[in-house]
């Protein structure tokens, strides 16, 4: 049985006219007639979903060449989990134990861009994006199956957690570092994948009284491993000036773990008098605090214990990695 024969038989069985099918799918009755006669064999994906809905069948039927058994095709399992394509992708990633990192490698695209595409783009944007076909291939599906959700069975825990993630996104609330980790854990169900990327903000400046993650502070994003992210809370900071030359240059990004103390000789991010944070080698003695530049043309800063308390002078993080510009 051809697809056209199937459409006509099913339409007749349900007592539907050509006009009714056309109205439900947004085409004229002449187009429906051409579907039935086989004059038009390639339907748009949105038409496939609309046609499947009015004929009460699985849309996958319409991407097959022929139908061997009419009754089997009619009774094919039809499970619709959600109208959100992103939801389906995450659910299948969980089932396949694939991370955003895995998918981006498969597609040879940027991990951040792919994560944002999956989580934040609309269904319409996904529909016309070639990455969707690649994602479907990676998940072992045809793109129409991913678009429609047919054959996808989602357990209660998966349903609850994915809806929580999308509720935050819908409310325009960014995912915290811990939520990104939890999402990756949720997808992977394995704590031993240290290469999974976690996104952290890169700040242009840090000042007292201004939240570090305030939107106006964020100028870019960097990625750290899941293993590293588990050791604390991190942010990136864009370096200004040449006081830490030759090791750290202006425009470089340093990865900083938030902490209030560091060991002598370690490079710290220090906030002085509520002004912009400075990046210096840190030394503390009974006489006070000394901040040292690696550029010998800059003199060290000295602060007495009274100045440390009155200004104040406070450590807000330790530099753990340098992402040098090229």
Matching residue, tokens 């009714």 = 20
pLDDT of residue 257: 94
What architecture (CATH level 2) is domain 200-326? Ribbon (2.10)
The single residue listed with the structure tokens 């357990």 is 155
Cα separation, 145 vs 85, in Å, equals 10
Q: Are strands 313-323 and 253-258 parallel, antiparallel or unpaired?
A: antiparallel
Q: What is the CATH number of domain 3-74?
A: 1.10.260.40
Mean pLDDT of residues grouped by 10 in the chain (326 residues)? 88 91 88 86 71 77 68 55 67 77 83 80 76 85 69 60 64 64 62 54 68 60 75 89 90 92 95 84 95 93 94 93 79
Residues 6+ apart with CB under 8 A from 94: 158, 186, 187, 189
Nearest to 137 by CA among 112, 162, 103, 108: 103
Give catalytic residues, as residue numbers.
243, 280
Helix ranges (H only) for 75-155 are 85-96, 100-107, 111-120, 123-127, 131-138, 143-148
Distance separating alpha carbons of residues 122 and 118, to the nearest angstrom:
9
The domain limits of the chain are 3-74, 85-169, 200-326
Partner residues linked to 323 by β-bridges:
253
Chain position carrying tokens 């490698």: 105
């Amino acid at each position: 049985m051809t697809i056209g024969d199937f459409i006509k038989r099913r339409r007749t069985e349900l007592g539907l006219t050509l006009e009714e099918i056309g109205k439900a799918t947004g085409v004229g009755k002449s187009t429906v007639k051409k579907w039935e006669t086989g004059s038009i064999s390639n339907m748009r994906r949105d038409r496939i979903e609309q046609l499947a809905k009015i004929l009460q069948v699985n849309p996958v039927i319409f991407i097959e060449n022929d139908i061997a058994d009419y009754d089997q095709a009619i009774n094919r399992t039809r499970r619709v989990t959600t109208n959100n394509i992103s939801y389906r992708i995450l659910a299948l990633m969980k089932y396949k134990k694939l991370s955003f990192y895995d998918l981006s490698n498969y597609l040879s695209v940027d991990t951040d861009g792919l994560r944002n595409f999956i989580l934040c783009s609309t269904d319409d944007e996904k529909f016309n994006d070639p990455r969707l076909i690649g994602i479907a291939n990676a998940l072992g599906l045809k793109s129409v199956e991913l678009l429609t959700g047919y054959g996808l069975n989602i357990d209660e825990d998966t349903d609850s957690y994915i809806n929580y993630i999308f509720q935050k996104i819908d409310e325009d609330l960014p995912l915290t570092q811990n939520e990104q980790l939890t999402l990756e854990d949720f997808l992977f169900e394995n704590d031993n994948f240290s290469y999974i990327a976690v996104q952290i903000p890169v700040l242009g400046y840090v000042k007292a009284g201004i939240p570090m993650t305030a939107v106006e502070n964020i100028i870019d994003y960097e990625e750290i491993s899941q293993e590293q992210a588990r050791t604390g809370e991190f942010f990136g900071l864009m370096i200004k000036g040449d006081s830490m030359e030759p090791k750290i240059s202006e425009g470089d990004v340093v990865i900083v773990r938030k902490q209030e103390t560091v060991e002598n000789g370690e490079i710290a991010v220090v906030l002085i008098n509520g002004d912009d944070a400075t990046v210096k080698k840190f030394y503390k003695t009974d006489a006070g605090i000394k901040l040292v530049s690696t550029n010998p043309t800059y003199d060290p800063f000295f602060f007495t214990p009274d100045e440390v308390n009155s200004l104040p002078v406070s450590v807000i993080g330790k530099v753990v990695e340098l992402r040098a510009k090229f």
